[in-house]
Amino acid sequence: MSISEEKPTLTLEQVVQELELRIVLGRLRPKERLVEEDLILELGVKRHIIRSAFLELERRHLVDRRPNKGARVRDYSVEEVNALSAFRADLYRLAISKIRFPISTKSLAELRRIASAYEIAGQAGDYAGAVALDNAFHTCLSELCENRFLTASIEEMSTAARPIDCFRIADPATMSRAVADHQQIIEAATRGHASELAELCVNHVFASSDTYNREVLLHRHLSRKESLRR
């Protein structure tokens, strides 16, 4: 291979995005170890890039790092999932209480544009695109409170909850529910019904966490049964 044909080196942010996507889409499972050597060979980057990526993923609450044990995909307990969801619900309630209604036509149009693009991405099986658009939708919504600190807090907790929110995103029923939720949120925002909007956002958060808890608990139960058979 000539120099001009060499595969371009990934940046730190690109490595972080790739690993985050694998975690969010379940390609890397909770408790799964991230092996430095394997990732260096696969992604073609230096060790310091992988280690810096682990640090950033830890900051985003997506992995746990332990001395001499490397990094593993974070494994949320049911209690942690419920606590995180409750905190996010409180943040959404606060943010929506700060929104000045009526919402501008421009902001509503942007929410509709993102929601439509999300639905198209899901139908096309572009789950990476759907994840990014779901993030964009909720960021656009939270920014309506016009408080950058509150918006930043919502974004940080949303990042931590991304594996929960996007769990089973490839399932048609899950995708349909998310599309319907987005539409109802837009309709409530258009009508200027703050209490209805807050309730819809809170229900959207808890629907994802309930699905995650059910599936993860079932998986752990089956894993324990399998271990006992061995």
Which domain does 113 fall in, by range? 78-224
Residue 224 binned pLDDT confidence (cut-offs 50, 70, 90): low
Same domain, 111 and 214: yes
Residue 110 binned pLDDT confidence (cut-offs 50, 70, 90): very high
Q: Does residue 229 lie within any of the structural domains?
A: no
pLDDT tens-digit readout, 136-172: 999 999 999 999 999 999 999 999 998 888 887 888 9
Total count of domains within the chain? 2
CA-CA distance, 60 to 20, in Å (whole number)? 9
**Which of 36, 219, 73 is closest to 160 using CA atoms?**
73
Same domain, 60 and 88: no
**Which of 102, 197, 204, 212 is closest to 163 using CA atoms?**
212
Same domain, 93 and 53: no
Q: Does residue 46 lie within any of the structural domains?
A: yes
pLDDT tens-digit readout, 86-95: 999 999 999 9
List all residues 6 or more positions away from 135 whose beta carbon is below 8 Å from its beta carbon.
158, 162
Q: Does residue 230 lie within any of the structural domains?
A: no
Last residue of a domain, one of 48, 73, 98: 73
Given a contact cutoff of 8 angstroms between Cβ atoms, the answer to whether 43 and 18 are in contact is yes
Last residue of a domain, one of 39, 73, 107: 73
Same domain, 58 and 124: no
State yes or no: pLDDT of 108 exceeds 50.
yes
Bridge-partner residues for 70, per DSSP? 66
Residue 225 binned pLDDT confidence (cut-offs 50, 70, 90): low
Last residue of a domain, one of 58, 73, 88: 73
Given a contact cutoff of 8 angstroms between Cβ atoms, the answer to whether 20 and 14 are in contact is no
